[in-house]
Amino acid sequence: PDGRVGWMGHVCQPVFDAAGRFLGTRAGNRDITEHKQAEAALQQQLGFLQQVIDAIPAPIFFKDRSGKSTGCNKAYEDYIGLRREKIIGRTVFDIYSPEAAHLYHQKDQELFGRPGVQQYEAQNTGADGRLRHVVFHKATYANAHGDIAGLVGVVLDITERKQMEEK
């Protein structure tokens, strides 16, 4: 009546008599405009957060409690040479060499066993094929119930620093 455009949720169900004969339908409408606007705002916020994470120049990754990747940023994609679609849902054993995967998995399990923050140095081969010296900074995160749900990690490439130290 006021001329505004909105969303309506429509529910319709058939009505039958005691003998099972179809009599017609019963329907109801509900204004779901606020719900749809909230959904759109949430999607916009999620998109913004991914843009912010992608803008961070250090490789960042997220894993669930089972060790499967749940997300990453653009720098991580570039660092390992795989697109996000090839990373999400996979474990370190699907992505890295067996030696590196074993170490990363072991460190993840240690972190889940003692939640908090973890830091360690490692070597791996980047997407460019060169051996890299890196520092992993990882931390666990909790779900809404306070249970450990996964971990987030940042990879810092210290190859140049190591080379300078050797010289």
Terminal-residue alpha carbon distance, the chain: 78
* Per-residue pLDDT at 56 exceeds 90: yes
pLDDT at 82: 94
Average pLDDT over the chain reads 92
* Per-residue pLDDT at 29 exceeds 80: yes
- CA 166 vs CA 147, 159, 162: distances in Å: 43, 11, 6
State the Cα–Cα distance between residues 76 and 87, nearest whole angstrom: 10
Q: Which is more confident, 63 or 40?
A: 63
pLDDT at 46: 87
pLDDT tens for 150-160 read: 999 999 999 98
State the Cα–Cα distance between residues 53 and 74, nearest whole angstrom: 8
Q: Is the dihedral of CA 101, 104, 110, 112 positive or negative?
A: negative
* Per-residue pLDDT at 1 exceeds 80: no
* Per-residue pLDDT at 120 exceeds 90: yes
Q: What is the mean pLDDT of residues 25-49?
A: 87
The 8-class DSSP code of residue 126 comes to -
